[in-house]
Amino acid sequence: MKTLLFQTLSKRNRLLILGVGLVLLAVYLIPIWSISISAPQYPEGLGMHIWINQITGATPYDLKNINLLNHYIGMQEIVSESIPELLFMPYVLGYLIFGAFVTELYPKVGMAILGIINLIFVGLVGLSDFWRWEYNYGHNLNPEAPIIIEGMAYQPPLLGCKVMLNITACSYPSYGGMILGLSLVVLVYILWDENRRKKSNVV
Amino acid sequence: MLKKSNLILVTLGISLFAFVPNCKKGAATATLASDAASRVYVAPGEKDEVYAFLSGGFSGQMSVYGIPSARLFKIIPVFSVFPENGYGFDEETKDMLKTTHGYVPWDDSHHVEASMTDGKQDGRWVFLNANNTPRLARIDLKSFETKEILEIPNTAGNHASPFATENTEYLMAATRFSVPIPQASVAVDSFSKGGFKGTISMVKVDKNTGRLSIELQVLVPGFDYDLSRCGKKKSHDWCFFSSYNSEQAHKMLEVGASKKDKDFILAFNWVRAKECKDQGKAYNFGGEYVNNFREENKPAVSTKLSGVKMLNPKDCPGMMYYMPTPKSPHGTDVDSTGEYIVGGGKLASVIPVHSFSKMIEVKDKKEHHSTEIEGIPVLKYESTLAGEVQKPCLGPLHTEFDGQGYAYTSCFVSSEVVKWKLGTWEVVQHLPAYYSVGHLSIVGGSSTEPYGKYLIAMNKITKDRYLPVGMELPQSAQLYDISSGKAELLSDFPTVGEPHYSQMIPAKLLMDKTAKLYPLEENKHPYATKNENEARIVRLGSTIHIYMTAIRSHFKPDIIEARTGETLYFHVTNLEQDYDIPHGFAIGGAPNMTNLLIMPGETRTFKWVAPKPGVYPFYCTDFCSALHQEMQQYIRVSP
């Protein structure tokens, strides 16, 4: 095990790690997650993008219109400023990218494993935080809302689609999320590849 | 023998039965294409192929239909007030209807013109004339709203208007009722002694903004100028005006103006006219007029202007020629190649076609002139004639072209559309119209590239076509498919007002460009309130300005206090930024003001003088949301 941890990465795997670091930079520029909603009165749909540092509508006016819809059920207004996670998420991403570049200087399999652990940790914390965030928005409703339906909560799905009243909400990773997922896959592949290399060396 | 007569009786009986149901349907179905229903059917959620813009006639408005379904989409108020959305009433739009005669909230609108670039429809604007109080309007095809109205001075009856040159450089506007110019109280019988005149106005269209201005007027003999069409391609520099009453009769025109065998089509070289103006041959002439302009989401600005440049034909040789045309011509229509000018002599028994090339060839050769009227040479009829369509119908009026070498002429008296071939002048088809057809329209038919699939005929009489609704029946339009060799009637539909003229534009040219909302951040209205926190009430003596916001499903501020006699201005901004969510605003019992419809991101102002003490409700009139009915509040008026 120890030999694997300190085994130097192959030239190709080093390049892959560099690629992961560079591709992760794109996550600053594209949304990580998207929630889309459709309803009979919104045939063109409405959409919301979650970025590393902000929440926006899919069009310049979608977020405003989602909030307008939500006000009937007493959901608090969704604005980037009310989500503190968005303040430090860019640094977390920076840490991951930094890790990829450090690995270039110190190209050991252990660093790739650290990367995998980091990505899984960030992913799990991120998803549970996202769930908690959805839970709060969906459950903490204004008791004076115009529309109150006994026992009804409006928590969007973590992944997949869900029908709430006449609205279908779908939640899926966006390009940024896919890049994060792909980074994890690449790192796992590198680990598998290095392990195989080690075994063939032994033989 | 017996057997034979029985047979005849039986045959008679059968044919009687066979005809009875047909008789009941009147003239309806005989010529209808067999699969017409499916060809005009637009399934739920599907879109029409074509926008049809129909003038509103005596309604002063313009209506927008979808073709082939013939569904009415919208009425665009242009020269008439419109209580549905407050046009002509509120502080933003009331100045649109200002004229030198004061506030004129109605007109008689005859002709729609579509803007063109290189002779092809460009989908930017449509223009509409006001015949009664001479005006010309520009309607923007992004918002489908009237943006500008220009009054035309020194004219009466702005009928031959607004016909555009090939690149919409200019719109032409000519006098229908010749009058003393400048206006004066003179004996009406001085008409026949040359005391009455007409004018042709060149209205410049700014190619970027569309802003209208009067470039030049030309003083022409006192005939009645009726319709116009401008040339294209080789005839680009020219516009053609039909005229009637060249007899200059002033009593019983019905008889007096129908005496001569030929009246005239006036050929007008507008490029030459501009040249003469630039050479200083035009002189300063009086005339007061008003220009009303409404910039996007701002109150209209009404500007009073005075004086125009006037040009006399004798001071600008080569600018104008009269082409004799039988008899009381209405239409003067230029085909898509720019070569043929087709006259529609409403009392004529032929359809005369002038050749542009021939005209150019002979126009300055004395042997082809028969006489001269007030400095305008009159060419000989045969000299410019390309051909005549013989015995086409009764009362030919207006001709449109399909771009395939065929022309379609409406015939008022015989209630039909005749299809004939350019060049051979043969009639190839008679299409019945129900009834008394005025004008025609083919998609892009007046451009250099007609799309040529549909033709509509705008009819004057609808006896027996629809369920009777009292004495005033709807006018009607009929839709024909002209895409194949044989034109076919597809449907007819009742219309708003009495449409005289139409422009049809392919949907794909417009539908993706239409505006969905006014972006709030671009709202430059001086009384805009861009978010609820800025909603407020400002008192200035006995005037109260209420900076109000409207959003689903409330107004802010919601309770207003005033005293009897105070003037309240409700500046309502619709904060929505969602497609198709206007809010309405109306106050119970408000005199002199109607409803407002405020588009998303728009600001409009409702003026109200506080009446006797009481509590007055105001509310949203356009169903906006589940809580629309709750979108209401009160104004308390104290003594």
- pLDDT of A130 over the 80 cut: yes
Which residue spans within B100-209 are E strands per DSSP? 102-103, 112-117, 120-130, 135-140, 145-151, 158-164, 170-175, 197-205
Domain boundary (B479, B509, B539) is at B509
Same domain, residue pair B451 and B580: no
Q: How far is B628 from chain A (nearest CA, A)?
A: 12
Same domain, residue pair B561 and B472: no
Q: Using the beta-carbon criterion (under 8 Å), do B626 and A72 form an inter-chain contact? A: yes
Q: What is the pLDDT of residue A5?
A: 85
For the beta carbon of residue B316, count every other beta carbon within 10 angstroms. 20
Same domain, residue pair B466 and B540: no
Q: Using the beta-carbon criterion (under 8 Å), do A60 and B577 form an inter-chain contact? A: yes
Q: Using the beta-carbon criterion (under 8 Å), do A147 and B626 form an inter-chain contact? A: yes
Q: Under 8 Å CB-to-CB from A19, ≥6 apart: which residues? A: A186
Best B522, B531, B625, B631 member to test A by mutation, with max A CBs in 10 Å, is B625
Q: Using the beta-carbon criterion (under 8 Å), do B577 and A64 form an inter-chain contact? A: yes
Same domain, residue pair B538 and B482: no
Same domain, residue pair B496 and B526: no
Q: Using the beta-carbon criterion (under 8 Å), do B578 and A72 form an inter-chain contact? A: no
Domain boundary (B483, B509, B535) is at B509
Model ipTM? 0.84
Name the interface residues of B facing A (CB cutoff 8 Å).
Answer: 517, 519, 551-553, 576-579, 625-627, 630
Task: Copy the structure tokens of residue A173.
Answer: 């990773």
Q: 3-state secondary structure string, B570-598? A: EEEEECCCCCCCCEEEEECCCCCCCCEEE
Q: Which of B552, B553, B578 sits opposite A61 (nearest CB)?
A: B578
Flag whether B504 is in a domain. Answer: yes
Q: What is the pLDDT of residue B201?
A: 98
Q: How far is B578 from chain A (nearest CA, A)?
A: 7
φ, ψ dihedrals at A193, nearest 5°: -65, -45
Q: What is the pLDDT of residue B31?
A: 64
Q: Using the beta-carbon criterion (under 8 Å), do B578 and A65 form an inter-chain contact? A: yes
Q: Which residues of B touch A146 (CB under 8 A)?
A: 553, 626-627, 630
Burial of B25: CB neighbours in 10 Å, binned 0-12, 13-18, 19+ = exposed
Q: Which residues of B touch A147 (CB under 8 A)?
A: 626
Q: What is the pLDDT of residue B485?
A: 87
The pTM of the full predicted model, rounded to 2 decimals, is: 0.91
Find the residue in B nearest to A68 (Cα).
B552
Q: Using the beta-carbon criterion (under 8 Å), do B578 and A146 form an inter-chain contact? A: no
Same domain, residue pair B98 and B154: yes
Same domain, residue pair B487 and B537: no
User: Which CATH number does the domain housing residue B539 bear?
Assistant: 2.60.40.420
Q: Using the beta-carbon criterion (under 8 Å), do B626 and A68 form an inter-chain contact? A: no
Q: Under 8 Å CB-to-CB from B621, ≥6 apart: which residues? A: B584, B585, B586, B595, B597
Q: Helix axis angle, A85-105 relative to A109-139, nearest 10°?
A: 170
Paired with B140 in beta bridges are B125, B145
Q: Which residues of B touch A44 (CB under 8 A)?
A: 579
Chain B contact present for A40, CB below 8 A: no
Flag whether B200 is in a domain. Answer: yes
Flag whether B515 is in a domain. Answer: no
> Would you list the DSSP string of A93-149?
HHHHHHHHHHHHHS-BHHHHHHHHHHHHHHHHHHHHHHHHHHHHHHH---TT-S---
Alpha-carbon gap, residue B591 to B565, rounded angstroms: 13
Q: Using the beta-carbon criterion (under 8 Å), do A147 and B551 form an inter-chain contact? A: no
Find the residue in A nearest to B552 (Cα).
A68
User: Which CATH number does the domain housing residue B231 bear?
Assistant: 2.130.10.10
Q: Which residues of A touch B627 (CB under 8 A)?
A: 72, 146
Q: Residue B299, SS3?
A: coil
Q: What is the pLDDT of residue B469?
A: 93
Q: Residue B122, SS3?
A: strand
Alpha-carbon gap, residue B179 to B134, rounded angstroms: 13
Q: How far is A7 from chain B (nearest CA, A)?
A: 58
- pLDDT of A119 over the 70 cut: yes
Q: Which of A44, A60, A68 sits opposite B552 (nearest CB)?
A: A68
Which of A202 and B111 is assigned the larger pLDDT? B111
Same domain, residue pair B332 and B305: yes
Flag whether B18 is in a domain. Answer: no
Alpha-carbon gap, residue B56 to A180, rounded angstroms: 61
End-to-end CA distance of chain A: 16
Same domain, residue pair B205 and B292: yes
Chain B contact present for A72, CB below 8 A: yes
Alpha-carbon gap, residue B564 to B567, rounded angstroms: 9
> What domain range is B276 assigned to?
50-509
Chain B contact present for A101, CB below 8 A: no
Same domain, residue pair B80 and B154: yes
Buried b (16+ CB within 10 A) or exposed e, B464-484: ebeeeeeeebbbbbbbbbbee
Same domain, residue pair B474 and B541: no
- How many CB pairs below 8 Å do chains A and B form together? 23
- pLDDT of A1 over the 70 cut: no
User: Which CATH number does the domain housing residue A115 bear?
Assistant: 1.20.140
Same domain, residue pair B491 and B536: no
Flag whether B32 is in a domain. Answer: no
Chain B contact present for A79, CB below 8 A: no
> What domain range is A82 assigned to?
1-201
Q: What is the pLDDT of residue A202?
A: 61
Q: Which residues of A touch B576 (CB under 8 A)?
A: 68
Q: What is the pLDDT of residue B19?
A: 38
Q: How far is B142 from chain A (nearest CA, A)?
A: 19
Q: Which residues of A touch B626 (CB under 8 A)?
A: 72, 146-147
Total number of domains constituting chain B: 2
Best A44, A65, A147 member to test B by mutation, with max B CBs in 10 Å, is A65
Q: How far is A137 from chain B (nearest CA, A)?
A: 21
Confidence class for position A200, pLDDT limits 50, 70, 90? confident
What does the DSSP 8-state code read for residue B187? -
Domain boundary (B490, B509, B528) is at B509
Q: Helix axis angle, A109-139 relative to A11-25, nearest 10°?
A: 30
Q: Which residues of A touch B517 (CB under 8 A)?
A: 61
Find the residue in B nearest to A61 (Cα).
B577
Flag whether B80 is in a domain. Answer: yes
Find the residue in B nearest to A43 (Cα).
B45
Q: How far is A47 from chain B (nearest CA, A)?
A: 13
> Would you list the DSSP string of B398-439?
EEEE-SSSEEEEEETTTTEEEEEETTT--EEEEEE-SS-EEE
Average pLDDT along chain B, 639 residues, taken 10 residues at a time: 46 41 44 86 96 96 97 97 97 98 97 97 98 98 98 97 98 96 92 90 97 98 96 98 92 87 96 98 97 96 98 97 94 97 91 98 97 96 97 95 96 96 97 94 95 95 92 93 93 93 97 95 97 96 97 94 98 96 97 96 98 98 93 97
